[in-house]
Amino acid sequence: MAALDGLPTLRDVITRHGLDARKALGQNFLLDLNLTQKVARTAGNLEGATVFEVGPGPGGLTRAILALGARKVIAVERDPRCLPALAEIADHYPGRLEVIEGDALKTDFESLVPDDGPVKIIANLPYNVGTQLLVNWLLPNRWPPFWQSLTLMFQKEVGQRITAVEGDNHYGRLGVLCGWRTEAQRAFDVPPEAFTPPPKVTSSVVHLVPRAAPIACDPQKLEKVTQAAFGQRRKMLRQSVKSLGGEALLNRAGIDPARRAETLSVEEFCRLAAEI
Ligand code: SAM
């Protein structure tokens, strides 16, 4: 049976194009178009938006984004086997899907930004490169960034680290970076059996919007303090940040040296970063 957008079912696409999933490319495909629509809808209204997608694969999420009215999708896919399947979608939506064959980690997304309209990033990310891509998008040359929102599928555990705040078990370097520059929410979880093939763990869709005016802070210094503090997360800060100035540094920042990394707010980490 054909899918609602008039294109063949994703199972049919995968069979016809021989897209057996490759583990090395983090290929766990979403074949349920209701679910891909739910992911795309998490990004809010797509009318008039340009969407950057990483790893469209056979195109399930791409189709949902286009069906929901995105003006254009620019998708970066590393696996050349997927290109003929994506060309069928491009034919179905003339002028609205551009596919770039390549490695998203080496792609200069900022150079692809159109002259007008918002850019949203939506992706069911390959697990091996997802966190690095997120960090790259959080540390562009200028802020506010070129994107209006990030709607991304991660392993649930990574989603928990992205959205963690002080006091949470999952709070760490990633939570501080995300909390500093964005408001991040875990939108919903997706069980392994929703994917083909199923991964070992549950996944989560995370939605991040940039803070208009994050606390002024040098990202490299912030990285240094969080690396030291969370590198020895069970120790008191006077010990864990010893190499950066220890007790004297903490006193300058007005932070009790007997505290531990996981109790510090983003604002306190920024204060520490300003003192090194
Ligand atoms: N979007 C599809 C879906 O939701 O069914 C596929 C998602 S699958 C988890 C990840 C996709 O990313 C695969 O199509 C894989 O080939 C692609 N990929 C893996 N590494 C990549 C990279 N470095 N750059 C671009 N695409 C990559």
Percentage of the chain with pLDDT > 90?
95
Which helix or strand (DSSP H or E) is residue 177 part of?
Answer: helix 173-181
Q: Which residue type does 127 have?
A: Y
**Residue that has been written with the tokens 């079912």 in this structure:** 9
pLDDT tens for residues 85-130?
A: 999 999 999 999 999 999 999 999 999 999 988 999 999 999 899 9
Q: What are the residues facing 195 on neighbouring strands?
A: 30
Domain end call among 210, 234, 264? 210
Report the alpha-carbon distance of residue 270 to residue 52 in Å, rounded: 31
Q: What is the structure's pLDDT at 3?
A: 67
On whether both 103 and 156 belong to a single domain, the answer is yes
Residues enclosing ligand 1, CB less than 6 A?
Answer: 25-30, 54-57, 60-61, 76-79, 82, 103-105, 124, 126, 129
Looking at the fold, whether 246 and 125 belong to one and the same domain comes out as no
Rounded average pLDDT over 4-15: 92
- Pair (204, 247) in one structural domain: no
What ipTM did this prediction achieve?
0.99
Select from 106, 89, 105 the least CA-distant residue to 97: 89
* pLDDT(140) > 70: yes
Q: What is the CATH number of the domain that holds 241?
A: 1.10.8.100
Say whether pLDDT at 228 is over 80.
yes
Instruction: Check whether residue 250 and residue 191 sit in a common domain.
Output: no
Both 107 and 192 in one domain: the answer is yes
Instruction: State the distance from the centre of ligand 1 to the C-alpha of 54, rounded, in angstroms.
Output: 6
Candidates 35, 79, 196: which one to mutate for ligand 1, based on the most atoms within 8 Å of Cβ? 79
Question: Are 43 and 139 members of one domain?
Answer: yes
The domain that holds 152 is classified in CATH as 3.40.50.150
Q: Assess whether 235 and 112 both reside in one domain.
A: no
Question: For residue 242, what are the domain limits?
Answer: 219-274
Last residue of a domain, one of 210, 234, 249: 210
Residue 1 has pLDDT above 60, yes or no: no
Buried (b) or exposed (e) across 206-244, using 16+ Cβ within 10 A? bbbbbeeebeebebebbbbbbebbbeeeeebbbebbeeb
Distance CA 39, CA 122 (A): 8
Q: For residues 101 and 73, state if they share a domain.
A: yes
Helix (H) or strand (E) holding 269: helix 266-275
The total number of structural domains that make up the chain: 2
Contact present, 58 and 85 (Cβ < 8 Å): yes
Q: Are residues 144 and 256 in the same domain?
A: no
What proportion of the chain, given as a percentage, has pLDDT over 70?
99
State the chain's mean pLDDT as an integer: 96
Residues 9, 28 within the same domain: yes
**Residue 98's pLDDT is what?**
98
What is the model's pLDDT at position 276? 94
pLDDT in tens, 233-252: 999 999 999 999 999 999 99
